[in-house]
Amino acid sequence: MYDGPGTPCGYAFSVNGVDGSDYAAASGGVITIDGASGGISGTGSIFDVNDVCDYLTSSTSCNAATYSAQSFTASSVSAPDSLGFVQFALNSNLYASGSTIPSVILDGYMIDANHIRLVEDWSNDWYAGTTGGTAVAQTGTGAFSTASISGSSYVFGMGGYDVNGVLQNAGVLTFNSDGTVSGTLSFNDLTFQTPNGGTALAAAVGTYTVDSTGRVSIYNVTDNATFGYNLELYLSGGSKAVMISMDATNPTTPDVLGGLSWQQGTGAFDLTTITGDYAIALDQYGVDPSTSTEAEWDAVGLLTSDGTGNLGGYFDQNLSLFVGGGLVPDKSFSATLATTSTNGVYTVTPNSGTYTSYIVDGTAGVVLQDDPSGLTLGYFANQ
């Protein structure tokens, strides 16, 4: 993870879930490992926090708060064990100032040297949140600039909460050379949804800035009518990135989100772009209309696209109790895939419901349910 003096190793990370008071929270940033034995001096590191319930300003009640561009104090990460387990002990002056208890402890499980799955060690850190996410290794740590992203597009998918409950969103953002942001976005919180195919961002409204850590601050992602987001995107220097929202204090559309992002391929996308077999994972949520009971269920499976707009395959679903409970294996699935007027944005129409898909390239993409019958956010990649 760290190759010695003069070669700092950076990881872009984001985690989200709930804080110690069970209110929605997300944090993200860049951790730079620059010392012997996993030392993190704080130089070149940065993080942001978006929390619906923050006790820093009061010991008796919580208020929504966002903290931007915060600094780590001296911190550390353990060496990987034989199973790839590492532990980040991250300190800052923002939380527990003067305490010997790490502000946040993140347990990590390495997929490889470039990808780490994270879960907060809530019972041992000061923040005491129940959060999880991903860290992605950086290339060119400390040397990012506007040129690192200008002219490129990023597909993203994020989950979290807003005032109506569970929220999911997805989209594609293009970072224009004049400092503005364009693109298309979809969201669903069961109370409100964008239409099938997503909604275009208002022209020349959103803006972005990039600092040397790879932290991209994105302001006013909006259609001037139904949604408005401020986002932080953390670059890896490769095709992958991680994201959080920074809207807990937004007076009109507060939200807390976190998730993944990928640099979109170039060129014109059509039906033949999505051809072959794809593994897919879905995070699903719904409400039983007869009892108003809320529950989550999940699914994984295999889809096959014939390159002419036909999708088929199966899912293994782990269902919540209100829809029968238990594991349902090999549930068949079929749908039609269609392009839209926006390059890289597709509609997916199965037997019930409607979905919008944002394509990274021929190998991967994101899909989001955009009808009021339920919430589904998924990621797919070819085999």
pLDDT score at 297: 81
Question: What are the tens digits of pLDDT across the range 193-222?
Answer: 999 999 999 999 999 999 999 999 999 999
Residue 24 pLDDT more than 60? yes
Query: Residue 52: which residues within 8 A CB-CB, separation 6 or more?
Result: 19, 23, 24, 25, 62, 64, 161, 248, 254, 256
In the chain, which residue ranges form alpha helices assigned H by DSSP? none
pLDDT score at 321: 59
pLDDT score at 290: 55
Rounded to the nearest 10°, the torsion over CA 128, 129, 130, 132 is -120
For the 9-137 domain, the top CATH level (class) is: mainly beta
Specify the range with the lowest mean pLDDT, choosing from 67-71, 95-99, 333-337.
95-99
Question: What are the tens digits of pLDDT across the range 82-127?
Answer: 999 999 999 998 876 556 677 899 999 999 999 999 999 998 998 8
Proportion of the chain above pLDDT 90, given as a percent: 80
pLDDT score at 323: 55
Q: Which amino acid is at 307?
A: G
pLDDT score at 95: 76
Question: What are the tens digits of pLDDT across the range 126-163?
Answer: 889 999 999 999 999 999 999 999 999 999 999 999 99
Rounded average pLDDT over 239-257: 96
pLDDT score at 5: 55
Task: Examine domains 9-137 and 146-263 and report if their fold is the same.
Answer: yes
User: Nearest-CA neighbor of 222 among 206, 207, 245, 209?
Assistant: 206
Mean pLDDT of the chain: 92
Q: Which fold has domain 146-263?
A: Lipocalin (2.40.128)
Rounded average pLDDT over 237-248: 97
**Residues of 232-249 as b/e, b for ≥16 C-beta within 10 angstroms?**
bbbbbbebbbbbbbbbbe
- 3-class secondary structure, 115: strand
Rounded average pLDDT over 348-353: 93
Classify domain 271-382 by CATH architecture: Beta Barrel (2.40)
Proportion of the chain above pLDDT 70, given as a percent: 92
Sort 371 into a burial class: Cβ within 10 Å, 0-12 / 13-18 / 19+.
middle
pLDDT score at 4: 54
pLDDT score at 265: 97
Give the span between the Cα atoms of 374 and 368, in whole angstroms.
10
Residue 3 pLDDT more than 60? no
Q: Which amino acid is at 3?
A: D
Confidence of residue 295 (pLDDT cuts 50, 70, 90): confident
Boundaries of every domain in the chain: 9-137, 146-263, 271-382
Residue 357 pLDDT more than 60? yes
Q: Rounded to whole angstroms, what are the CA distances from 7 to 87, 274, 358?
A: 21, 40, 36
- Tell me the whole-structure pTM to 2 decimals: 0.95
